[in-house]
Amino acid sequence: MKIKSKKSLGQNFLIDKNIIKKIVESGNILPNSTILEIGAGTGNLTEYILKKKPKKLFVIEKDEKLVETLKGRFDKKIDIINKDILKVSENLISKEKLIVYGNLPYNISTQILSKWITNDDQNNWYENYILMFQKEVADRILAQTDSKNYGRLSILSNWKLNIKKIININASCFNPIPKVESTLLKFTPKKNYLKLKNSKNLETITRVFFNQRRKKIKNPLRQLFKKSDMIIDKLKLNTELRPQNLSPETYYMITKEYENLRN
């Protein structure tokens, strides 16, 4: 069957069977697993997820036409939700913890990631999630302190999540072929992380620092704290450093201090 792909919905379908298998394997599906697949498209990944015989498979797809395709191809084997993932309350989908797969438009992957990270009351609905990113964005998510790609996205992503690179995926594994290379990342919740009152504060702090990427951290610290010397002493910060030289943990601690002073 020929399906016309919609550019506006980032429809690049995976066609490389080995890559599809590798993606499905990376979720460690067990017979009692409940799965959520986001942006199922024509169902190329769906088919291989079903081969693992999970207990249940929910599928979210925004495009009504593709929902019809999916119904035709899988009928009652899957539970289709015809919605925009950005408008779904993930914790209401199932009582079971979900293994999540998403080969979605790149911009949506990044939006979902930040939605899930900053969701302070909904932490426990997933077991892990596996998302496709444009390679450059994945590089920023994975970047280490002191490196060129290190920044807000690395710090935010590493707060509550362990992140593992599964594989780089060549553009030719998709149809139509996208203009960029892709990387698949797997996220699992960290057991221990520094709890914050409001994750928005971490966004604020990192924004203030990285808006002045080239300046020494003295400047943003002064901007954020009336008594910045106190914070510098307490956290033993070297004020000669620049934003990219501070570890993610340091940013979490700075945010904690910021919250403490606000209450």
The reply to whether 68 sits near ligand SAH by the rule CB under 6 A is no
The reply to whether 103 sits near ligand SAH by the rule CB under 6 A is yes
Closest CA to 202 of 193, 213, 214, 191: 193
CA distance linking residue 187 with residue 172, whole number of Å: 25
Q: 134 is written with which tokens?
A: 């444009």
List residues bridging with 81 in a β-sheet: 60
Q: 164 is written with which tokens?
A: 């593992």
Q: Which is nearer to ligand SAH, 8 or 260 (CB)?
A: 8
Contact, 115 vs 125, CB < 8 A? no
Instruction: Tell me which stretch binds ligand SAH (CB under 6 A): 60-68, 150-158, 160-168, 244-252.
Output: 60-68
Instruction: Tell me which stretch binds ligand SAH (CB under 6 A): 36-44, 188-196, 206-214, 243-251.
Output: 36-44
Shortest Cβ 5–ligand SAH spacing (Å): 8
The reply to whether 184 sits near ligand SAH by the rule CB under 6 A is no
The reply to whether 14 sits near ligand SAH by the rule CB under 6 A is yes
Q: How many CA atoms lie within 13 A of 34 on its CB side?
A: 13
Instruction: Tell me which stretch binds ligand SAH (CB under 6 A): 39-47, 133-141, 204-212, 230-238.
Output: 39-47
Contact, 249 vs 234, CB < 8 A? no
Contact, 157 vs 113, CB < 8 A? yes
Q: Which is nearer to ligand SAH, 14 or 155 (CB)?
A: 14
- List interacting residues with ligand SAH (CB under 6 A): 9-14, 38-41, 44-45, 60-63, 66, 84-86, 103-105, 108
